[in-house]
A and B are shown apart, each in its own frame.
Chain A
Amino acid sequence: MTNSIHVELWQVAASLTLVAVAAAISRWQEADLERDIVVATIRSIIQLTLIGYAIKLIFDVDSIWLVLALLAVMVLFGALTARGRAKSVPDAFWPLLLTLAIAAAATLGLVVVLGIFEPTPRYLVPVGGMVIGNSMTASAVALNRLGDEVADSRARIEATLALGATAREAALPIVRRSLRSGMITLVDSTKTTGLIFFPGTMVGMLLAGASPTDAVRLQLILLYSLLGSVAIAGLLATNLAYRNFFTPAQQLREEPE
């Protein structure tokens, strides 16, 4: 029933106008994001083109091992990217890698076990990509906040440690706030979905000619899966990464120079 649509290259090129608008706003408002926007655009072109070919290959070969390999690569690059946004967290890479791997495995495992999706490349690749991407964003936001909170709250953390509190007890309030900030965007967008914005999957399905009912149902499944994965990711990232601010003797490490 889907009437597959064909997108011309000139149409893609024309959409770059909006990228130019984003860069112009950043420059005008001195948001200092022009370089990031250009890098993001170039990377998106290269990465999506490559992943397009990779997905085609994976669909053709139809091997679960190839799917797992692709998801592992996504987890690796997701962790590297998120680390770049969590620079103030010492050694953030390993907590992030573990976080994304577990969030992806748990979420995909659950949707397969519950019978929501079949364990085939057609479902696992796109859903895995969304799960890892959203988990990466949530982890990066949460750890960025964690780094800021530790820097702002050093005196309070040390004063709490000075009472004989464990690192966990001293960091608990900021771990909670960081987890919250990692999750809040998706929670808010889930609240307003359909009212203020149409989520990507639904838009894609409608554009591709699917029935609105199917588009809505699939979108709901994905939103709920993402909520779960983002919560798992935020929980793991904050609870693994806060430890890196402390020594085994429950001391707050010195701030990096």
Chain B
Amino acid sequence: MLFELRDVWVTRGGRPVLEAFDAGLQAGATAIVGPSGSGKSTLLRLLNRLADPDRGSISYRGEPIADRNPLRLRREVSLVPQLPALLEGTVESNIRFAAGLAGRDPDPARCLRLAGLGAEFAGRDVARLSVGEQQRTMLARSLAQQPEVLLLDEPTSALDHDARDAIERTLGELRRELGISLVLVTHDPEQARRMSESVIRIEAGRAVDGAGR
């Protein structure tokens, strides 16, 4: 089991976001599906300890994640947020920064290729990229850390159909080429079906129908 969540409760600003949430996520590709505000993004943030639950337990590969060093966990379980938020500078400087954190040798050309961008993007200023290019740069940056799991928060929500299809192809190739596990948050059940082997549905902070087990 990649992740296991037991009786997880989260409140934000006094409002319950996840309530008595139970789920198991196997290695491979898992989609988390649900309407806006159902707690999908919060769930993703729990998996690499960008947030901690108020109650309940979460384990990663059988070990409680609360016992793991959060920095090392995040380099192994990399989260790509919904909206691109790159550091000022070039595409390459972002990739080098991420690789450096994980103690990896940066290979910008390879990361860009895996994320579906040409090597010519390396020297570009991130402020001059389109949203789709920024999203791919976010992905390239995460890949520079050679993570074992990618947590993807609505990776195609800001993109048109063509760009969405291209990102989906890229993610499929990543799985095949690198064997990375994916946890994908999406509000689109069709995308979940196309891209994952198991689906967890969330409604109002609770897992419904089988929770991917």
The 4 A-B residue pairs whose C-beta atoms are closest, nearest first, are: A164-B75, A159-B85, A164-B74, A155-B85
Q: Within 8 Å CB of A252, what residues of B?
A: 50
Q: Shortest Cβ distance from A117 into chain B, in angstroms? A: 43
A159 touches B81 (CB 8 A): yes
Q: Within 8 Å CB of A254, what residues of B?
A: 12-13
Q: Within 8 Å CB of A155, what residues of B?
A: 81, 83, 85
Asked if A163 is at the interface of the complex by the 8 Å CB criterion, the answer is: yes
A and B contact pairs by CB, cutoff 8 A, 27 listed: A155-B83, A158-B50, A158-B85, A159-B81, A159-B84, A159-B85, A160-B85, A162-B50, A162-B74, A162-B78, A162-B79, A162-B80, A163-B78, A163-B101, A163-B142, A164-B72, A164-B75, A164-B145, A166-B71, A247-B52, A249-B52, A250-B71, A251-B52, A252-B50, A254-B12, A254-B13, A257-B13
Closest A residue to B99 by beta carbon equals: A163
B48 touches A162 (CB 8 A): yes
User: Of the candidates A159, A164, A169, A249, which one forms a contact with B138 in the assembled complex, judged by CB atoms under 8 Å apart?
Assistant: A159
Most chain A CB neighbours (cut-off 10 Å) among B48, B71, B98, B101: B71
Q: Shortest Cβ distance from A162 into chain B, in angstroms? A: 4
Closest A residue to B84 by beta carbon equals: A159
Complex-state Cα separation, A169 to B97, whole angstroms: 10
How many pairs of A and B residues are in contact by the CB < 8 Å rule? 65
Complex-state Cα separation, A162 to B101, whole angstroms: 11
User: Of the candidates B13, B84, B145, which one forms a contact with A163 in the assembled complex, judged by CB atoms under 8 Å apart?
Assistant: B145
Q: Within 8 Å CB of A35, what residues of B?
A: none
Asked if A194 is at the interface of the complex by the 8 Å CB criterion, the answer is: no
Complex-state Cα separation, A158 to B41, whole angstroms: 13
Give chain B interface residues in 118-138, CB to chain A under 8 Å.
138
Asked if B87 is at the interface of the complex by the 8 Å CB criterion, the answer is: yes
Task: Give the contact-size bracket for chain A.
Answer: 20 to 34
Complex-state Cα separation, A159 to B50, whole angstroms: 9
A160 touches B87 (CB 8 A): yes
Asked if A165 is at the interface of the complex by the 8 Å CB criterion, the answer is: yes
Q: Within 8 Å CB of A204, what residues of B?
A: none
Complex-state Cα separation, A195 to B73, whole angstroms: 57
Asked if B49 is at the interface of the complex by the 8 Å CB criterion, the answer is: yes
Contact residues of A with B, CB < 8 Å?
A: 155-156, 158-166, 169, 173, 247, 249-252, 254, 257
User: Of the candidates B50, B88, B145, which one forms a contact with A173 in the assembled complex, judged by CB atoms under 8 Å apart?
Assistant: B88
Q: Within 8 Å CB of A163, what residues of B?
A: 74-75, 78, 97-98, 101-102, 141-142, 145
Contact residues of B with A, CB < 8 Å?
A: 12-14, 48-52, 70-75, 78-81, 83-88, 97-98, 101-102, 138, 141-142, 145
- Given known pairs A163-B101, A251-B49, the reply for A158 and B81 (CB within 8 Å) is yes
Q: Within 8 Å CB of B78, what residues of A?
A: 162-163
A156 touches B85 (CB 8 A): yes
Q: Within 8 Å CB of B52, what residues of A?
A: 247, 249, 251
Complex-state Cα separation, A156 to B134, whole angstroms: 13
B87 touches A173 (CB 8 A): yes
Q: Shortest Cβ distance from B108 into chain A, in angstroms? A: 15
Complex-state Cα separation, A257 to B13, whole angstroms: 7
Complex-state Cα separation, A211 to B87, whole angstroms: 54
Q: Shortest Cβ distance from B53 into chain A, in angstroms? A: 12
Known: A159-B81, A164-B73. 16 other contacts (CB 8 A): A155-B83, A155-B85, A156-B87, A158-B81, A159-B138, A160-B87, A162-B48, A162-B78, A163-B101, A163-B102, A163-B145, A164-B72, A164-B102, A164-B145, A165-B71, A250-B71
